[in-house]
Amino acid sequence: MSPVVPPAVVPPVVAAPLPGTKKAIPGPLHVITPSAPSFVNTGGVNVDGLPLAVEWPGLYSADRLVIAENAGYGGRAGSHAFASVMHDKQHVLVAVDVPVAGGPILPPDGKPRWGRDDGVELCLRAVTRSDKAGPVFVVRGYPSGALVSSAVAGASTSAAEAVGAGTRFAAIRTKSGWSAEFAVPIGKLGIPTGKIQYLRLNLGVRKARTDESLAWVGTQAENWRVDKAGIVRLKPALAKGVEQLLRNGGFEEPSGRAPRDWSTFGDMTDPRGEGTVSLSPDGLAGSTCLRLDAKAPPVRGVGAMQAVTTPAAGTYILGLQVRAEDLLAGEEGGMLVSVRHIPIGGRGRLRTKTHQRVVTHLCTLWERVELPLEIPADTALMTVTVQLRNATGTVWLDQVSLRRAVTD
């Protein structure tokens, strides 16, 4: 059984903003999804500390989470680590790769302490569709293989103990540093498994050799302040062999300056235009992609739209690759995805609308974003829109897809 450490024994690592700096603290990272092509791991993970590519494809792709902010106050750190998140319907699966020149340092007494010794901190909180949240759990793993489930974030001792007892953890030294794997039981997170919509999640990495504390999201406080951190959605797997419903989702086929099969809007060539919509050669892996630019915040938006006729009812996954530079978002602004459903006989009336802010700040690396959608049975037409709205900067989009999902 993994020991439970009360808050008084292991104090949290609190980092204040750098003295004399007035740099704006980055906002929370946008929605990040489990980094696996199927979104649900069905092949199994051997929790031995060595995350193989066949087990963790997301860890070796652009989908991986980059742990590169200073813990606490945010901003880019001097080094980094990488992670991937999946689930197998019973466990939250997390793999972490920590590059450390010279390898991790093990404590002489064999008793690792968070904030002093090398380690990985996994902080997570289950949330329902109605935003009811469970306790915040903090699970810390060390290169020695030691695992500590801490009650530092307010979970009861018994709940933290149950999570620790049910968590499988392993770590191993590698040529570049060390790596670790977690399998945390979803059923112990304080919310019935079937009601969990997403996880509030953060990851911290301590590098003792270089005296660095890193975080996936710097929260201006402890890493376990997960309401200021990232989101991981536990989504269903994509149905195998199901076609991509959006045409030209990779933007490889042009039609003049615009992508074929997409209707663009807000371009400066339009008398009402507020930005620029163009095709760019800077796509993922050197491919063509869609580029959106705005020098002044476009109120009506700058982007592209595509219609899908008579989609079958059910759950769908809308996915896209995105990155951004010099992005400054106003209230409810940023890079947004909108989905509208028009019912049979609706004469164009809006039935439902899914409006999702995907990126609201700097995101220089390509990130994979996945959004679950529920399509009603009487839908005659749906439109998918990607746009830059009430924000300035540049956004690149690639590999936009819409596919049917598998549900239990």
pLDDT per residue over 36-45, tens digit each?
A: 333 345 456 8
Both 183 and 328 in a single domain? no
In a domain, 13, yes or no: yes
Highest mean pLDDT among 127-131, 327-331, 392-396: 392-396
Both 136 and 220 in a single domain? yes
Instruction: Please name which of 121, 111, 173, 175 lies closest in space to residue 149, comparing C-alpha atoms.
Output: 121
pLDDT number for residue 207: 97
Both 138 and 277 in a single domain? no
Q: Is the pLDDT of residue 312 over 60?
A: yes
In a domain, 244, yes or no: no
DSSP 169-215: EEEEE-SSEEEEEEEEEGGGSSS-GGGEEEEEEEEEEEETTTTEEEE
Both 131 and 28 in a single domain? yes
Both 44 and 128 in a single domain? yes
Both 171 and 261 in a single domain? no
Tokens of 53: 């590519």
pLDDT number for residue 337: 85
The domain that holds 336 is classified in CATH as 2.60.120.260
Both 226 and 264 in a single domain? no
Q: How confident is the model at residue 397 (pLDDT cuts 50, 70, 90)?
A: very high
Total domains present in the chain: 2
Distance CA 292, CA 290 (A): 7
In a domain, 200, yes or no: yes
Q: How confident is the model at residue 130 (pLDDT cuts 50, 70, 90)?
A: confident
Task: Say if CB 242 and CB 403 are below 8 A apart.
Answer: yes
pLDDT per residue over 172-200, tens digit each?
A: 999 999 999 999 999 999 998 878 888 89
pLDDT number for residue 30: 31
Q: Is the pLDDT of residue 82 over 80?
A: yes
If you average pLDDT over residues 99-114, what whole number do you get?
94
In a domain, 241, yes or no: no
pLDDT per residue over 2-23, tens digit each?
A: 444 433 322 222 222 223 322 2
If you average pLDDT over residues 377-385, what whole number do you get?
82
Q: How many percent of the chain have pLDDT more than 90? A: 37
Both 273 and 209 in a single domain? no
In terms of residue numbers, what domain contains 47? 4-233
The domain that holds 100 is classified in CATH as 2.60.40.1190
pLDDT number for residue 271: 61
Instruction: Please name which of 41, 36, 145, 35 lies closest in space to residue 91, comparing C-alpha atoms.
Output: 41
Instruction: Please name which of 77, 91, 93, 78 lies closest in space to residue 35, comparing C-alpha atoms.
Output: 93
Q: How many percent of the chain have pLDDT more than 70? A: 77
pTM (2 d.p.)? 0.56
pLDDT number for residue 371: 80
In a domain, 245, yes or no: no
pLDDT number for residue 168: 96
In a domain, 249, yes or no: no
Q: Please provide the average confidence, as pLDDT, over all residues in the chain.
A: 79
Q: Is the pLDDT of residue 378 over 70?
A: yes
Task: Say if CB 97 and CB 82 are below 8 A apart.
Answer: yes
Both 149 and 183 in a single domain? yes
Both 108 and 175 in a single domain? yes
If you average pLDDT over residues 329-354, what whole number do you get?
68
Tokens of 282: 């800077």
If you average pLDDT over residues 240-250, what whole number do you get?
76
In a domain, 74, yes or no: yes
322 three-class SS:
strand
Q: Which residues have a Cβ under 8 Å from the Cβ of 136 and sit 6 or more positions away?
A: 123, 124, 125, 153, 154, 155, 200, 224, 226
Both 292 and 218 in a single domain? no
Residue 196's DSSP bridge partners are 128
pLDDT number for residue 32: 37
In a domain, 240, yes or no: no
CA-based torsion, 341, 342, 343, 349: positive or negative: positive
